Amino acid sequence: MSVVVLISGRGSNLEALLRAGIPVAAVISNVAGAGGLAIASKRGIPTKLVKHGDFPSREAFEAVLAAEIDRLAPKLVVCAGFMRIVTAGFVERYAGRMLNVHPSLLPAFAGLHTHERALAAGVKVHGCTVHLVTPELDAGPIVIQAAVPVRDGDTADTLAARVLRQEHLVYPRAVRWFLEGRLVIENGLVRVKGGDAQCIFSDND
């Protein structure tokens, strides 16, 4: 029941997964020097660097990345700050077994700069979403969401910090549900066997 984690940066969600006891078989980064590589190495978890810039095309990069993933035969592929938009072919290869966490309450604010856009829109509630990855960007079936209030005086940085704390709580939960076989997809919607809450609201962080 192993997991392969794809990263591009500091690895804070990777660290949250590891603290929660998620069985990570390997960590793959497309960026040299990504902080998450050091986090994995300190725990004795194998790491691999597959730099997208070393390849002539997106497809060539993805072919090598997929070969590294398939060599490990994971049950689940987890994107944890993996900052690459992948092709439909790559997504379909791992259809139904690739998760991502996005820093907004999808379908609101798909894509980048979510916190700035939330503040500009004047929303009163913001948050994060764990979803299954599909070819359409940030549009896969939602597994779990966590919401935080937008406070007077919030900046993109203060709001991002509160949302990130919720990511660290809900992402391990969603991964564990998947590994336990508790996620059921019906008509494009996800439910959890056992009735666990799929939406969390935090107003005291």
Q: Are 131 and 109 in contact (CB under 8 A)?
A: no
Burial of 155 (0-12, 13-18, 19+ CB in 10 A): exposed
* Cβ-Cβ contacts under 8 Å for 82 (sequence gap 6 or more): 6, 7, 8, 30, 100
Is the sign of the CA dihedral 9, 15, 16, 21 positive or negative?
Answer: positive
Question: 113 catalytic, yes or no?
Answer: no
**Cα gap 24→77, rounded to integer Å:** 10
* Residue-wise DSSP of 78-94: EESS---PPPHHHHHHT
Query: One of 52, 102, 113, 131 is an active-site residue; which one?
Result: 102
Q: How far apart are the first and last CA of the chain?
A: 33
**Cα gap 202→161, rounded to integer Å:** 13
Residues designated as active site: 102
